[in-house]
Amino acid sequence: MNLGVGRKLGIVLCVGLAAAVQVQAQSRESVDLDMVSRIRQEAFHRSQVMATFGHLTEQIGPRLTNSPNMAKANAWTREQMTAWGLSNVHDEAFDDFGRGWLYRSASVDLLGPRQLSLHAVPKAWTPGTQGAVEGEAIAVVIKTKADLDKYKGKLKGKVVLLSEFREYKAGTEADSKRYDDAGLTALLDYAVPKDANPADRKKRASEYVQRQELSQALNKFLVEEGAIAALSISGWDNGIIRVGGGGSRRAGEPVGVPELAVAAEHYNPLLRSLERGEKVNLRINVDAQFTSETNDPGYNTIAEIPGSGNEVVIIGAHMDSWHAGTGAADNAAGVAVMMEAMRILKTLGVKPRRTIRIALWSGEEQGLIGSGAYVAKHLAEYPESTDPEQKKLPKGFQERGGPLQKKRDYDKVSAYFNLDNGSGKIRGIYAQENLAAMPIFEAWLKPFNDVGATIVTPRNTSSTDHISFDRIGVPGFQFVQDGLDYGTNVHHSDLDTFDHASAEDLKQASAIIAAFAYHAATREQKLPRKPLLEN
Amino acid sequence: MNLGVGRKLGIVLCVGLAAAVQVQAQSRESVDLDMVSRIRQEAFHRSQVMATFGHLTEQIGPRLTNSPNMAKANAWTREQMTAWGLSNVHDEAFDDFGRGWLYRSASVDLLGPRQLSLHAVPKAWTPGTQGAVEGEAIAVVIKTKADLDKYKGKLKGKVVLLSEFREYKAGTEADSKRYDDAGLTALLDYAVPKDANPADRKKRASEYVQRQELSQALNKFLVEEGAIAALSISGWDNGIIRVGGGGSRRAGEPVGVPELAVAAEHYNPLLRSLERGEKVNLRINVDAQFTSETNDPGYNTIAEIPGSGNEVVIIGAHMDSWHAGTGAADNAAGVAVMMEAMRILKTLGVKPRRTIRIALWSGEEQGLIGSGAYVAKHLAEYPESTDPEQKKLPKGFQERGGPLQKKRDYDKVSAYFNLDNGSGKIRGIYAQENLAAMPIFEAWLKPFNDVGATIVTPRNTSSTDHISFDRIGVPGFQFVQDGLDYGTNVHHSDLDTFDHASAEDLKQASAIIAAFAYHAATREQKLPRKPLLEN
C-alpha cells in the first residue's frame, strides 16, 4: 500500500501552480536511503526501546509532574542519555509549577449494608487520610456555589459522594483499533474551518473560571464542614479507574479532603443504596502526601547530538504522566521512542548539519506547561495582557497583550517533532496546514511505507506539545498513530501500563523518528514555515 | 423480521413426511393471544423485574453456594414469592455440598520496589490472612506434583506467584454484542456430530483427576512450607478480575493459604520485577472466612402456581453465583426474570391445567449440583458405577452403573425452561434436537417476533441447569439470548453487576417466559419427548 504517493498527486492537482513548484522541490528532496537502511537495522534488530519503556513504567512508575518519580525519571533519562554519549545533557527548569505529590496505597471498603472492597484511586493533589477513617456516605449535588448552602451542617464525619449516577454504556465498538485504508484516506481530507465566534471563547473562559472558583469553594467547604473524605465516579465504565487531579497543586490553595475516583460499577450502587434509605458506611485509607510546600519549578530533560552549524532540530515527548497507571501509552511510549531515536543516531555516528536535540517535557498534562515555558524562554512568546480581568484567566484563555516577541533562537529551530498519541505505531504525520512541508514529509516517509507509515495529512492536530511550537510559528508536528486502546482503556487510567503496548509498534516509531530527525538535521534548508497568524 | 416462520418451511422440506405431520400439529398449536396480550401488558408496563434484580444483586449481593448471602437469597425469594401468593413455597435441600464461605474485604499492596495498591479479589474457599501480613514474592512454575520438590524450603514467609506471565490480547471485537439477522440465521444450521472417541473421555477424566490431585497437593504444600499467601493472574485482561474457587469447599480437604486473583496489568509487572532480580515486597490483608466446618446441604428454593391436574411445568434459573461481582448476569438476571414470570401469571390469575413450578437452583457454578440433585430425587437417575476407579471421578466423568431408574414424577413433568446466558434479551430457543417441539415453540414465539425473539434452533446448548433434565430424557430447554458483554466483561468477574444489565431486556424475557410457561401448562398434551440415548 502506498497511499502517500497516490494521494500526493491529488493534492498537486488541487493547489495548482504553487504545488507544481513543490513537486519539483519534492522530487529534489534528498532521502539518504543508505542511512535509512542503517537506522532500520538498528531500530528493528538491536532495539532497546522496550528496555527504556519498561524502566520508565515499571522501575520508576507513574511520573506526576514534580513528584519524586518524575525527579527519578529526569535523573535516569539524563544518566541513560549520558551513557549513550549524548551531549549537553541537563534539566531545564520552568518556574512556579506547584507542589509535588505521591500516593503509596489506597483502599475504600464498604462496611454496610453489605461488605465489599471498592476499586478506587485517589485524585492527584488531594490529601491522605492519616490512617483508616470511617464514616457514613452522603450524596450531594453541587453545581454552583449557591448549592453549597444546602449542605451546611450536614457533612461532619461524612464521606461525600460528589458525582451523580451515570448510566452504563455498552461497548459496541472494538476496544483496540488500527487504521485501515479507508480511515487513512479519510485523514487526507481537510475541512475549511468555520469562522470563530469570539463570544464562544469568552463563554468558555467564563465557564472555566466558574469551574475553578466552584472547585476551590467546594474544597474549602468540605474541610470547614468536617467531611472526612469524598468519592467521585471514575471517568470510564468497566471497572477502569480514569482519574486526574483534584485538590490543588498550588501552594496556598485549598486542597479539600481526601478524594478518590471509584469504579462506576462500585459507585452507582452506593447512590442506589442511599436512595433506598439505607445507611452506607465506608472505611477509607489513603496513604498520600504532598512532597513540597511551595510552588516548585518543574524540569524538562534535554540532550543533544551536536550539529556542525548553529541550527537545531528538536524531537520530544512529555515524560510526566497521571498517577493511576504507570503513564505507559501516555507517554513513556513517546519518551522511549524519542530516546531510542537519539540512541540509534548516536550509535550510527551521524554528523548532522543541525544539532538534534531531544526534549522530555514535564507539566504536559496540566496544559503543555513544560514545552510552553521552553518555547517562551528560547523561541518566542506573546506578551501577557495587562488587563486584570484577562490575568484571572489561565494562559490559554487570555487575549494576547501584543505582537509576538521573538527570542534569540526563533530562527534557528528548523522543526519540532512530537509523539504523544498512545503507543500505536506511526501511520503518517499531521502537516499542521504547512503545505510546503508535505512533499518533504512524503519523501521522508516513503522508505517506511512498507511498515505502514504512508500518510501526510494537511490537518491540524492538537492537545500535545507540538502546539507550543506551532502557535508561535515554529514548525511543530505530531505523528498519526494507530489508536489501539488509547481512547477506550488506557488514556489517564489505571490500565495505562506496560502490557498494553507492543514492541513492534515502538520499534517502528523509533526508526521513523530517527529518520525524520536525521533528514531534518541534514537537509540544506530548514523546513519551510507557514505564515504566522498573529491573531 | 420473522426468521422463525421463514425458516420453519426450510426444515419442513428437509425432514419430509414426519415433518408434514408436524406442520399439521403446528398449525393446530393453540396460542392464547388474549393471554399473551395480558402478559405483555403486565411485563412491559407494570414490571417489577428490576426491583427483584436489584434486591438480589445490591441488597443481598453475591450468592456463593452455602454462603450467608445465599441463605439470605433463599429466604428473601421465599418471602417475596409468598407475598405474591405463590403456593408450596419452600427450600429443598440437597446433601453434602460443602462448606460456606464469605469475604468482607481484601487488599494487596505492593511495598517495593515501588508502591501501588493492586486490584485483587480472593478465590472462593481460601482462608483469610487474620490481619495484614507482609512478605517477599517468589514466582513458581508448578505443573506436576514432582515440581513441588523444587520449592521445598524456599517458600517460608513468602507470597507465592502461581501464574506464569500472560501476554495482553488487544480487544479487536466489540465488548457488547447483540445478534444480527445473519447471526440468528446461522443458528438454524445443525452440524451432525462426529462420533465420540471413548479415549477422549478417559483422557479428560484422567486429566481432571490429575488437576484435582495437584491442586490438593499444592494447597497442602503451601501450608506446610509456611507460605503466607499466593497470587495468581486474573482470567481476563483490562483490569477485570475474573475468579472462581481455590482452596476447597470440602470439609477435611486442604484449603491452602490465602489466595487472590490479581488484575493482569498488576500481576505481570511482579514477574518482570522478579526477573530483573528485584525484591518484590507485598502486604496482603484478606478478611475472609469459612462459615461452617461440615459439608452442609445446599438449598434450592421452590414455589408453585397449582394446576388442576397432576402434571408439572418447571421454569428455573440458578440463584447461586461467584463472589467477585454481585452475580448479576450470572444469574440474578435469570432468577429475576423467572420470578417475574411467576408474578405476572399469578397477578393475571391464571388457572393452568399443569402446575407451574419455579426452581431457583443452588450449586450450579460447581457443576449443576442443585438441579442435578433435584432431578435425581424426583425424576430419574442413572445408578452410580460400583467400580472404585469410576467412583474417584466426579459424576460427570463416571460411566453409568446401569440403565436409567425412573422416579415417581418422571412422566409428570412436561418441560423445564431455563435462563442463564447473561442478562441479554431472548432471541429464540434451543430445541435441543427435539424436532417435534420446534413447531410448538415457533407458535409460542410468534407473538414475540416483534420484540426480537424469532428463532427456534434444533441445536443443543449446554453448561447450565436444563442439562440436568435433558440428560435423563425430560425435555429441558435454554433460550437463545443476546450476549451483550457476558463473554467479554462480566462472566464470573467483578464487573458482573447491576449496571451492565438493561430493564428492557429483562422485561422482554419475563414476558416470553411467562407465555411459554402458560402455554406449556395449558396445552392439552405434555411437550413431546425426544428418544433417550441410554449410552
pLDDT digits (tens, 9 = 90+) for B342-398: 999 999 999 999 999 999 999 999 999 999 999 999 999 999 899 988 887 877 788
- Alpha-carbon A391 to chain mean position: 25
Taking CA atoms, A43 is separated from A46, A54, A344, A348, A526, in Å, by 6, 17, 7, 11, 26
User: How much of chain A is helix, strand and coil, in % rounded to 5?
Assistant: 40, 20, 40
Q: Using the predicted structure, report yes or no on whether residue B22 has a pLDDT greater than 60.
A: no
Q: Using the predicted structure, report yes or no on whether residue B436 has a pLDDT greater than 80.
A: yes
- Residue B63 contacts A where some CB pair is shorter than 8 Å: no
Contacts of A52 (CB under 8 A, 6+ apart): A80, A335, A336, A339, A340
- Alpha-carbon A363 to chain mean position: 9
- Residue A172 contacts B where some CB pair is shorter than 8 Å: yes
Q: Using the predicted structure, report yes or no on whether residue A23 has a pLDDT greater than 50.
A: no
Q: What is the mean pLDDT of residues B487-502?
A: 98
Contact A105 B116 (CB under 8 A): yes
Beta bridge partners of B281: B112, B136
Contact B107 A107 (CB under 8 A): yes
Chain A residues with CB under 8 Å of B273 CB are 58
- Res B444: pLDDT: 98
- Smallest CA–CA distance, residue B221 to chain A, in Å, is 29
Grid cell at residue B222 = 503451601
Q: Sorting pLDDT into bands at 50, 70 and 90, what band is B533?
A: confident
Contact B499 A173 (CB under 8 A): no
- Residue A112 contacts B where some CB pair is shorter than 8 Å: no
Q: What is the mean pLDDT of residues A449-463?
A: 97
Helices H / strands E in chain A, number of each: 13, 18
pLDDT digits (tens, 9 = 90+) for A250-283: 999 999 999 999 999 999 999 999 999 999 999 9
pLDDT digits (tens, 9 = 90+) for B181-239: 999 999 999 999 998 888 888 899 889 889 999 999 999 999 999 999 999 999 999 99
- Across chain A, mean pLDDT equals 94
Determine the residue of chain A that is closest to B119 in CA distance.
A119
Q: What is the mean pLDDT of residues A123-150?
A: 97
Q: Which of A26-35, A192-201, B456-465 has the highest mean pLDDT?
A: B456-465
Strands (E), A435-521: 455-457, 476-481
Q: Using the predicted structure, report yes or no on whether residue B265 has a pLDDT greater than 90.
A: yes
At residue A427, what are phi and psi to the nearest 5 degrees? -110, -5
Q: Using the predicted structure, report yes or no on whether residue A229 has a pLDDT greater than 50.
A: yes
Q: What is the mean pLDDT of residues B275-300?
A: 97
For residue B11, the surrounding DSSP H or E stretch is helix B3-28
- Res B534: pLDDT: 72
Q: Sorting pLDDT into bands at 50, 70 and 90, what band is A3?
A: very low
Report the SS3 class of residue A476: strand
Distance CA B511, CA A455 (A): 54
- Res B341: pLDDT: 98
Q: What is the mean pLDDT of residues A179-193?
A: 96
Domain positions in chain A are 52-100+294-372+416-455+462-522, 104-289
pLDDT digits (tens, 9 = 90+) for B137-147: 999 999 999 99
Q: Is residue B161 a contact partner of residue B139, using CB atoms and an 8 Å limit? A: yes
- Residue B281 contacts A where some CB pair is shorter than 8 Å: no
Determine the residue of chain A that is closest to B283 in CA distance.
A105
Distance CA B30, CA B34 (A): 12
The conformation of residue A245, written as its DSSP 8-state character, comes to: B
pLDDT digits (tens, 9 = 90+) for A317-371: 999 999 999 999 999 999 999 999 999 999 999 999 999 999 999 999 999 999 9
The conformation of residue A498, written as its DSSP 8-state character, comes to: G
The conformation of residue A158, written as its DSSP 8-state character, comes to: P
Which of A10-14, A179-183, A454-458 shows the lowest mean pLDDT across its residues?
Answer: A10-14
Q: Is residue A196 a contact partner of residue A502, using CB atoms and an 8 Å limit? A: no
pLDDT digits (tens, 9 = 90+) for A190-227: 999 998 888 888 899 889 889 999 999 999 999 999 99
- Res B220: pLDDT: 97
Distance CA B263, CA B257 (A): 19
Q: Using the predicted structure, report yes or no on whether residue B27 has a pLDDT greater than 90.
A: no
Residue A523 burial by Cβ neighbours in a 10 Å radius (0-12, 13-18, 19+): buried
Q: Using the predicted structure, report yes or no on whether residue A435 has a pLDDT greater than 80.
A: yes
Cβ–Cβ pairs < 8 A, chains A and B: 134
> Do the first three CATH levels of A52-100+294-372+416-455+462-522 and A104-289 match, i.e. the same topology?
no
pLDDT digits (tens, 9 = 90+) for B40-95: 999 999 999 999 999 999 999 999 999 999 999 999 999 999 999 999 999 999 99
Q: Which residue type sits at B152?
A: K
- Res B201: pLDDT: 85
Report the SS3 class of residue A181: helix
Q: Sorting pLDDT into bands at 50, 70 and 90, what band is A27?
A: low
∠ Cα B333 B46 B43 (to 5°): 55
Of B115, B117, B494, the CB nearest to A107: B117
The conformation of residue B150, written as its DSSP 8-state character, comes to: G
- Res B2: pLDDT: 34
Contact B238 A237 (CB under 8 A): no
Q: Using the predicted structure, report yes or no on whether residue B4 has a pLDDT greater than 50.
A: no
Q: Using the predicted structure, report yes or no on whether residue A21 has a pLDDT greater than 80.
A: no
Q: Sorting pLDDT into bands at 50, 70 and 90, what band is A189?
A: very high
Which of A43-47, A256-260, A394-398 shows the lowest mean pLDDT across its residues?
Answer: A394-398
- Res B405: pLDDT: 96
Share of chain B above pLDDT 70, in %: 95
Q: What is the CATH number of domain A104-289?
A: 3.50.30.30
Helices H / strands E in chain B, number of each: 13, 18
Q: Using the predicted structure, report yes or no on whether residue B34 has a pLDDT greater than 90.
A: yes
Fold of A52-100+294-372+416-455+462-522: Aminopeptidase (3.40.630)
Contact A58 B272 (CB under 8 A): yes
Q: Pick the more confident residue, A155 or A16.
A: A155
Distance CA B384, CA B54 (A): 41
Grid cell at residue A139 = 450524596
Q: Could you give the count of Cα atoms lying within 13 Å of B389 in the half-sphere of its Cβ?
A: 4
Residue B294 burial by Cβ neighbours in a 10 Å radius (0-12, 13-18, 19+): exposed
Chain A residues with CB under 8 Å of B71 CB are none
Distance CA B534, CA B518 (A): 31
Q: Which residues 477-516 on chain B approach chain A with CB closer than 8 angstroms?
A: 484-485, 489, 494-495, 497-500
Contact A495 B265 (CB under 8 A): yes
The ipTM estimated for the assembled molecules is: 0.93
- Smallest CA–CA distance, residue A388 to chain B, in Å, is 44
- Across chain B, mean pLDDT equals 94
Beta bridge partners of B381: B405
Distance CA B264, CA B233 (A): 6
Q: Using the predicted structure, report yes or no on whether residue B19 has a pLDDT greater than 70.
A: no
Distance CA A83, CA A89 (A): 10
